Structure 1
């Protein structure tokens, strides 16, 4: 067991069993457990529930720290906020707490079906006031809105797309290669992340290049974040962030990320898939995101009836999701507050 994924580092969360989960790729994930962080109380009408899924490498802890709080748009004094950690992320059932490199291939759809079972059977919900998530959380948000259009009243995908692009698929492949080409990886049979330190460092360097924008580098934003040099930023912040993570967990999530695609529901017809969405939807890319560019997100937004395009401005790019830009977080709050105030059927 990797202590990085402990209650001390990422809690409080509770593990809730949903039973065996049939997987889209075939086979079963036995005794699937979801790590869930709860904020606020469910009201008597059960109509104030908000689902917040997690992104690649992130857990419910960062969602709590950056996006949830009294007086915020995601206010636990008003809403029952359910943060569900994705399968494979380290807290829910994952390679690191299950069967390592023999862990089955998981799809975004498997996550969403597992979450649906959790919400309906454990919490007794019949609808969600909002689903909101960033990056892989946005992929799950789209999957929710397409798969369960009557259940989701509002949706806010942030910094992510409904169908992953070939460009993003290829870049994610380099993230995978950085890990798997490390001799210490041993086909996933390493004993600790330290054995794959070189691969995880290369992984972190690639994230540095694409996760932040070129303007982030040009304006020396790393100094505003408290790092005297880019080398210090890469070594301390980026490499330090990934160094303790389980490589098999990262690979599980990367495979899933590459194949995020709601058009699976409509034989590859993306307009038809997005046409299923009934939720009031705000599409919120980040202006300088190089993983999920604004143009890719807007192309999809135009296919969603009644949706609105609400780009978040930040030179921090994709990793502005970490909350490094207070002005961008304020834009998020303003959009979500407005969305939650919008009447829906």
Structure 2
């Protein structure tokens, strides 16, 4: 087990750590005493029909979701809805590799395992059988699609933001380079490092790759990194991007990346994506980000056409994929507007 000063209530709380029991995994193996870190906003009404589920993205925790997406007057308004933000397995707060006696033996967890764990949480802990909305960005969007395909009778609305239902080969290779940045650091030692900071060189390379791919060329051409308060590119890389990733646990990041690479709802239908997305009954707004190099709009639009009644609602932002961080107020306003419309429509 690796003790990390990063994954704490002080840094990422408040959240409640809920034991959902034993979780059998799709690729074999089991997580005994699977714990999910859950942050709740608002109150569940008597009918239990005002619940919104928000799964987290790669490297993210419930903290950023609460700060950037949830608040009075927003689409995700805790005065109207009971908003349940669930940290994905492996993100450092929920059960993760660094919690184990031997992190290198942590089992393979898929997107579907996360969603089944969340389903168990909602039923057993809260008694929720209907969701007004499932919304998530990036890997959260992968979980959103999985929810809509796996539990179509339970989900009334879905909004996948900056993510796809089936990961592309191109995106698999993107993620592979991120993994190699960590594993090729000699200090990684096949995952047997004693502390995350020992893998500082690998984590910095990881951060640099995110700098290149997470933002867009236009982001840098138009000086958005300077507008965010950084003197130049080196300062942006060192202070923002490396500062963000450096405290994280490499084995946790790799566990999430493995899931990300293999996200595919067509596993439910023998590889037939159209058949899988055709199962969706929820009212659906597909919301890619215009300059996203991980999940480009063209990929999202192709899938949108396969979802019955889905609407394509792209978000315009040169901040690219990492506009999800809330760096572009105009992009956040667009997301809020679409989510408010989606929630206002009957489903």
Q: TM-score, normalised by structure 2?
A: 0.99
* Superposition deviation, residue 319 in structure 1: 0.3
Q: Kindly tell me the number of residue pairs found equivalent between the two proteins.
A: 344
Structure 2 unaligned regions, length at least 5: none
* Superposition deviation, residue 224 in structure 1: 0.6
Give the match for residue 292 of structure 2. 289
Distance 1:273 1:215 in 2: 35
Distance 1:4 1:95 in 2: 14
Does 1:231 pair with 2:234?
yes
Secondary structure at the aligned position of 1:19 is classed as coil
* Superposition deviation, residue 220 in structure 1: 1.2
Distance 1:237 1:193 in 2: 18
Distance 1:245 1:194 in 2: 8
Q: Given the alignment, which residue of 5, 9, 16 partners 2:11?
A: 9
Q: Given the alignment, which residue of 246, 270, 290 partners 1:243?
A: 246
Q: TM-score, normalised by structure 1?
A: 0.99
Distance 1:146 1:219 in 2: 40
Large movers: runs of 4+ above 6 Å = none
Give the match for residue 183 of structure 2. 180
Give the match for residue 41 of structure 1. 43
For residues 51-80 of structure 1, what are the alpha-carbon distances to aligned partners after superposition, in whole Å with 9 as ceiling and x for unaligned? 000000000000000000011000000000
Give the match for residue 337 of structure 1. 340
Distance 1:209 1:221 in 2: 14
For residues 272-310 of structure 1, what are the alpha-carbon distances to aligned partners after superposition, in whole Å with 9 as ceiling and x for unaligned? 000000000000000000000000000000000111000
Q: Given the alignment, which residue of 219, 223, 248 partners 2:222?
A: 219
Secondary structure at the aligned position of 2:21 is classed as strand
**Superposition CA RMSD, Å:** 0.5
For residues 73-122 of structure 1, what are the alpha-carbon distances to aligned partners after superposition, in whole Å with 9 as ceiling and x for unaligned? 00000000000000000000001112411110100000000000000111
Give the match for residue 106 of structure 1. 109
Distance 2:118 2:282 in 1: 18
Does 1:80 pair with 2:86?
no
Q: Given the alignment, which residue of 167, 174, 182 partners 1:164?
A: 167
For residues 165-205 of structure 1, what are the alpha-carbon distances to aligned partners after superposition, in whole Å with 9 as ceiling and x for unaligned? 00000110000000000000000010111110000000000
Distance 1:264 1:284 in 2: 23
Distance 1:75 1:111 in 2: 25
Report which stretch shifted further, 98-107 or 321-330: 98-107
